[in-house]
Amino acid sequence: MDKMIYADNAATTAMSERAAKAMLPYLTQIFGNPSSLHTVGQIAKEELEKARASVARSLGCEPREIYFTSGGSEADNQAIRSAAETGAGKGKKHIITTAFEHHAVLHTLKKLEKEGFEVTYLPVGSYGYVTAEQVKQAIRPSTALVTVMYANNEVGTIQPIAEIAEVCRAAGVTFHTDAVQAVGHIPVDVKAAGVDMLSLSAHKFHGPKGIGALYCRRGVPLRTFIEGGAQERGKRAGTENVGAAVAMAVALEDAVSGLTENAAKLVKMRDRIIDGLLKIPHSRLNGGRENRLPGNVNMCFEGIEGESLLLLLNEKGICASSGSACTSGSLDPSHVLLALGLPHEVAHGSLRLSFSESNTEEDADAILKAVPEVVEYLRSISPVWDDLVKGRRKHLI
């Protein structure tokens, strides 16, 4: 394998040099516990608060509205649990979400259902969008929370967050958005969007793993998620990961300042790859083309299975992902693709490519050469494709 092409940036990104460099001193030199009164501790505390202020600036909010967490999943868990408990205290036990949220949201909601909450899962249509009108129609007097992702992690569709926030505000319902795939990739301003709570994760925008944040608007009640010390204004105990918070702040500053330029480059690459791969017969793009994350490509190829596609692309040095059952470790293909209405047999043959600004047009060339080759080979050994070609089975796409 000569050169590796990393096209799985929605899974995780490489840390930027600047973020890594910012983090290093905290491993050995600036090691203090921000809760300590002595100088060593207070230096760490000062840097932690600078990082908080920086993250707040990048998102358009006040520092006190930022709570550091271990990542996006924890932020989602805390936001949903907190709003549910607050709602339940007022006798409100209804939650609205979409059918294609991340599992950090869906599994938390499943658990709440077992605890007596009722959850409405809004359909996302064949292109992967919900509307503010759908949310409006679903809101009841007993609705405690609306949680809708900013952008979908698999198919990259961007939801009308500001419009949904407006509907929620008018109805007096708390609105949370899982913005893990959006922050650093598309403009996110929490005040302009009007959201009450927003989750983000550093490793999706070239920051370190193990750190994220929850934005919680002033005035929105937030429950303590981890009991213990008084860190994070008493809402999340545990000695702070100062170096990671500092690195996240740096990565976010860079992502936000380079956003327009990077997005323009990625959109060009993305569209070229989509157009190129759509030339493969019986292929389809999953998720709409408008309002789509700049670096997201998600396709299905009929008659083949996603895991074997990934393994063969890996042999050619291309790292991607798939929504097939065999890659998810479950028996069903991706719930996101099923939510778009794709039949199981088609959803098994999916490929997600997600790019960052470090990908090049040469990477795109290599992908446009490799994917059609691998699809053609796998079809040549597939009894399903044979049936499709010979008319024994009907084409679904």
| Residues with catalytic function | 326
Nearer to other proteins, 31 or 377 (CB): 377
Minimum distance from CB of 355 to other proteins (Å)? 21
* Strand ordering across the sheet containing 143-147: 66-69, 212-216, 197-201, 174-178, 143-147, 94-98, 118-122
CA 353 to chain centre: 14
Minimum distance from CB of 308 to other proteins (Å)? 5
Nearer to other proteins, 147 or 382 (CB): 382
Nearer to other proteins, 49 or 386 (CB): 386
Q: Exposed, middle or buried, 248 (CB in 10 Å: 0-12/13-18/19+)?
A: buried
Q: Judged by CB under 8 A, does residue 335 bind other proteins?
A: yes
Start-to-end Cα distance in the chain = 33
CA dihedral defined by 346, 379, 277, 318, rounded to 10 degrees?
Answer: 100
Other CB atoms within 10 Å distance of the CB of residue 395: 12
CA–CA gap between residue 325 and residue 334 (Å, rounded): 7
Minimum distance from CB of 228 to other proteins (Å)? 31
Size of the site for other proteins (CB under 8 A): 31
Q: Judged by CB under 8 A, does residue 332 bind other proteins?
A: yes
Minimum distance from CB of 332 to other proteins (Å)? 5
One-letter amino acid identity for 35? Answer: S
CA dihedral defined by 298, 296, 15, 17, rounded to 10 degrees?
Answer: 140
Nearer to other proteins, 261 or 315 (CB): 315
Q: Judged by CB under 8 A, does residue 311 bind other proteins?
A: yes
Q: Judged by CB under 8 A, does residue 199 bind other proteins?
A: no
Return the range that interacts with other proteins (CB under 8 A); candidates 31-39, 140-148, 308-316, 359-367: 308-316
* Strand ordering across the sheet containing 296-301: 283-285, 296-301, 350-354
One-letter amino acid identity for 81? Answer: R
Nearer to other proteins, 58 or 77 (CB): 77
Q: Judged by CB under 8 A, does residue 117 bind other proteins?
A: no
Q: Which residues pair with 283 in a beta bridge?
A: 301
Q: Judged by CB under 8 A, does residue 308 bind other proteins?
A: yes
SS (H, E, C) 168-207: HHHHCCEEEEECCCCECCECCCHHHHCCCEEEEEHHHHCC
- For 107-132, letters b (16+ CB in 10 Å) and e give ebbeebeeeebebbbbebbebbbbbb
Residue ranges in 276-305 that form contacts with other proteins under rule CB under 8 A: 303-305
Minimum distance from CB of 371 to other proteins (Å)? 17
Minimum distance from CB of 113 to other proteins (Å)? 11
Return the range that interacts with other proteins (CB under 8 A); candidates 160-168, 169-177, 183-191, 323-331: 323-331
Residue ranges in 12-31 that form contacts with other proteins under rule CB under 8 A: none
Q: Judged by CB under 8 A, does residue 382 bind other proteins?
A: yes
Query: Which residues here bind other proteins, judged by CB under 8 A?
Result: 106, 110, 303-308, 311, 314-315, 324-326, 329-333, 335, 343-345, 348, 381-386, 393
